[in-house]
Structure 1
Amino acid sequence: MKSASYLCLLLLGLQVQGQQQVQQIPVAEDQSQADRENLPYVKLAPSNADFAFKLYKQIRDDTGDGNIFFSPLSISTAFAMLTLGARSNTLRELQQVLAFNLTQMEEQEVHEGFQRILQMLNDPHREEQLNMGNALFVDSQVELLQNFLDRATNFYYAEPVSSNFQNIPQARKEINMYVETKTHGKIVDLVKSLDSGTMMVLINYIFFKGFWERPFNSLNTRDDDFFLDAKNSVKVKMMHQNKNYNVHRDEKLSCWVVEIPYKGNVTSLFVLPDQGTMKQVEDALLKETVSNWLRAFEERKIYLDLPKFSVSGSYDVKSLFKKMGVTELFSDQADLSGVAKNLLLKVSKAIHKAAVDVRENGTEAAAVTMLELVPMSLPFPPPPHITFNRPFLMMVIDKTTDGLLFLGKIVNPTAKED
């Protein structure tokens, strides 16, 4: 079998402070609440959550004790679009790693689900800034199959861009300019190199800028210790808040969960494991666990301490996926025959980069770490003091789609960005 030409996947997730233009995608009216559970995007949500936590655990196993931050939805959307052109075992491996439950929903419904998610995320009437999109950089010599192109543009709003991959430096420059523009300068010079046989580059990006429903007062921010472990600490800018939040103490997993909502329909969960219980909480990260937390929330006044931080993560998704059972896609056995005419394609690179910026007025991530609780036996117990001064988890959830936009672990808020 002759060697395949290369397809490169670039997957971006951003929660940043900055302006972003929103695609004008029309949003259709939802059906009645009674029919909601049969809507494709609702049926897709559990699969996307399963994939997110499965990928998180693979990243954790690969990266050890470092910070983690990525967009599960960016990665699943890009690979779901690729399944439009995948066939045979290549398709089955992708569907399995993405946790698509094809016994409960048809393949067509999967793509309709992502279509609706893109529509809802890009709704120009949203209060927060949220934007997600896809692009296909295609060599001028490549003729995409009309069925693939039609479905990619219809379901995933993919933007085809004609490129000349015979001139690698120029193609790389064009792609980097596109990425820099879509991320408003937050990600620059992403593509360092392209394989000489590259014929296509698929890009997915997601951008979110949210403002806290109840901002922190910057006058209360002060230097404080963040404990990396039992012996080491770093100085951070610690924000303080004394207000009502949805809070849950999970005694079984020994952690606190605090919901910090943004204006609009996006919220964040900060999960603060007790000392020495991070791995226990991580191992229990499942959609059922998060659902239980959401159902168990009680609104109560707390003293909340949360560090300001900016972190980013870069991941070799090809390596991660191979460890999760996807092998054909990256080999000469890849069957992407539904993508282009008379062209054997395989994926040579799949990289993901995400960044988060958390500050007083807003953010794009949340987390949890430690807390102090006063005895409940007091007649009028003071509010619990929950201090994120050690490693914590964070999630950013879109409430309209139940989509997990971002997922991360902050081990060191002062770590240099990748």
Structure 2
Amino acid sequence: MEILLDAANGQSSETCTLPYSFTELFRMVKSALYFCLLLLGLQAQGQQQEQIHHFPEDQSQAGVENLPYVKLAPSNADFAFKLYKQIRDELPNSNIFFSPLSISTAFTMLTLGARSNTLRELHKGLAFNLTQLEEQEIHEGFQHILRLLNDPHREAQLSMGNALFVDNRVELLQNFLDGVTNFYYAEAVSSNFQNPPEAVREINKYVETKTHGKIVDLVKSLDPETVMVIINYIFFRGSWERPFNSFHTRDGDFFLDAKNSVKVKLMHQNKNFNVHRDEKLSCWVVEIPYKGNVTSFFVLPDEGTMKQVEDALLKETVSDWLRSFKKREIYLDLPKFSVSSSYDIKSLFKKMGVTEVFSGQADLSGVAKSHLLKVSEAIHKATVDVTENGTEAAAVTLMEIMTMSLPFPPPPRITFNRPFLMMIIDKTTDGLLFLGKIVNPAAKED
């Protein structure tokens, strides 16, 4: 995810510590300031784990509901599904794959330096209800999530982090620096943005290292006036709790629509899974767990019902699925696939009502001394690979079933050979790590 912040009047100045008034500062800022926020949603290679947590409203343990990260989960889920629907509306026939947690973390980190209406718009866009969740609790919640996700004792490989690449001419305000360091464990790196090619190499090397080579050359170029880059990355590699046997993988057809199909490799298992048939939404939901404390949901709408299922994507819907799961034997067919997606988050956010932070009226006065900033670009990229052994990122395919009318009916066959949805969920934090829709598993990148 990349976000660039310009000076509010399109101009910049040298760092200055003199006590100028706001009006004087505004006049002094002469050339554009850029603030790049690189949000990276990345890979999941996986297997499952024990029973999944419910969203916080379903938890009954006294005291747990008041923990900041638990109170934060419903807001993050609301944001994830709201953003998914915005992407779906813009790209109705494309693969979708992104990390809502990566995007929300990066923008919430930015709220530490936002003020007035800019801050209010960001809170609303990120689905934070300040009557139920105080600002301090929001940041404490993300702090706790980062701690839990980066637990070195996890069985699945999962890491998430933040970094600030700051031009050596810019002096960050101490409160902002303390906040991003203490709550978000951000690394502050002094960079020479007066040499854009050097800064690009430094940033891309960091991204490639943190994502274990999954995302390379993310930044193609930087404007000579760029002064800051903020990066959030998330990396997941999980092994299936019960891997697919590659001996049973066969060629098959994946139906893009009623007339068109592509050839895919279909993996197969005949085992017990948590399964739910949602008759109201006309879809099947299959939980495929990873080793450790991460799981995945694959949602297969009946033919012609994808939009109906997408429109119903809410945290309450997922909670209903969780409560309704039944362990049963099925014949499962799931395609192998590798998908990458890139998104202009600035454009998506503006259509969701978050506009001021990208305009000349942006108030990010809590970020740096002597600079008036605005976000000029925000980009997110994510990638996923699903194989017999596990997952690197996420994707889902629609399924077909067999009726069960006999006293001892054979297991239903659920074949993800048409467009499907996929979620990767961290059971410790109830965090939606990745969310996607696979409409063409043969397409490499949208």
**Is TM more than 0.5 here?**
yes
Structure 2 unaligned blocks of 5 or more: 1-7, 12-32, 47-59
Q: CA–CA distance in 1 between the matches of 2:128 and 2:278?
A: 29
Please tell me whether the aligned partners of residues 397 and 439 of structure 2 are also in contact (alpha carbons under 8 angstroms): no
**Structure 1 match to 2:10:** 3
In the alignment, structure 1 residue 317 sits paired with structure 2 residue 345: yes
Instruction: Within 5 Å, give how 1:32-111 maps onto structure 2.
Output: 33-111=61-139
**Structure 2 match to 1:123:** 151
Please tell me whether the aligned partners of residues 395 and 438 of structure 2 are also in contact (alpha carbons under 8 angstroms): no
- More divergent stretch after superposition (363-372 vs 386-395): 363-372
For 1:391, what is the secondary structure of its paired residue?
strand
Residue by residue, what CA displacement relative to the aligned partner does 1:184-218 show, whole Å, maximum 9, x if unpaired? Answer: 21111111122232110110000000000111000
Please tell me whether the aligned partners of residues 15 and 355 of structure 1 are also in contact (alpha carbons under 8 angstroms): yes
Please tell me whether the aligned partners of residues 195 and 224 of structure 2 are also in contact (alpha carbons under 8 angstroms): no
Q: CA–CA distance in 1 between the matches of 2:137 and 2:180?
A: 14
Q: CA–CA distance in 2 between the matches of 1:368 and 1:269?
A: 11
**Structure 2 match to 1:339:** 367
Letter in 1 for 2:181: T
Quote how far apart the aligned CAs of 1:14 are: 0.9
**Structure 1 match to 2:52:** none
**Structure 2 match to 1:298:** 326
Q: CA–CA distance in 1 between the matches of 2:410 and 2:165?
A: 58
**Structure 1 match to 2:221:** 193
Q: CA–CA distance in 1 between the matches of 2:404 and 2:63?
A: 46
**Structure 2 match to 1:372:** 401
- More divergent stretch after superposition (107-116 vs 181-190): 181-190
Q: CA–CA distance in 2 between the matches of 1:356 and 1:236?
A: 16
Letter in 2 for 1:95: H
Letter in 2 for 1:375: M
Quote how far apart the aligned CAs of 1:33 are: 4.0
Q: CA–CA distance in 2 between the matches of 1:234 and 1:312?
A: 18
Quote how far apart the aligned CAs of 1:339 are: 0.5
**Identity level (%):** 81
Residue by residue, what CA displacement relative to the aligned partner does 1:82-120 show, whole Å, maximum 9, x if unpaired? Answer: 000000010000000000011111100000000000000
Quote how far apart the aligned CAs of 1:8 are: 1.1
Instruction: Within 5 Å, give how 1:232-243 maps onto structure 2.
Output: 232-243=260-271
For 1:111, what is the secondary structure of its paired residue?
helix
Instruction: Within 5 Å, give how 1:244-263 maps onto structure 2.
Output: 244-263=272-291
Please tell me whether the aligned partners of residues 223 and 238 of structure 1 are also in contact (alpha carbons under 8 angstroms): yes
Letter in 2 for 1:171: A
Instruction: Within 5 Å, give how 1:260-279 maps onto structure 2.
Output: 260-279=288-307
Letter in 2 for 1:140: N
Quote how far apart the aligned CAs of 1:9 are: 1.1
Quote how far apart the aligned CAs of 1:157 are: 0.4
Letter in 1 for 2:309: V
Quote how far apart the aligned CAs of 1:47 are: 0.1
Quote how far apart the aligned CAs of 1:295 are: 0.5
Superposed CA RMSD in Å reads 1.3
Quote how far apart the aligned CAs of 1:368 are: 4.0
Structure 1 unaligned blocks of 5 or more: 19-31
Q: CA–CA distance in 1 between the matches of 2:395 and 2:409?
A: 27
Letter in 2 for 1:53: F
- Count of aligned pairs: 404
For 1:55, what is the secondary structure of its paired residue?
helix
Q: CA–CA distance in 1 between the matches of 2:404 and 2:64?
A: 43
Letter in 2 for 1:371: E
Quote how far apart the aligned CAs of 1:168 are: 1.1
In the alignment, structure 1 residue 177 sits paired with structure 2 residue 205: yes
Please tell me whether the aligned partners of residues 257 and 368 of structure 1 are also in contact (alpha carbons under 8 angstroms): no
Q: CA–CA distance in 2 between the matches of 1:264 and 1:180?
A: 25
Q: CA–CA distance in 2 between the matches of 1:229 and 1:400?
A: 37
For 1:144, what is the secondary structure of its paired residue?
coil
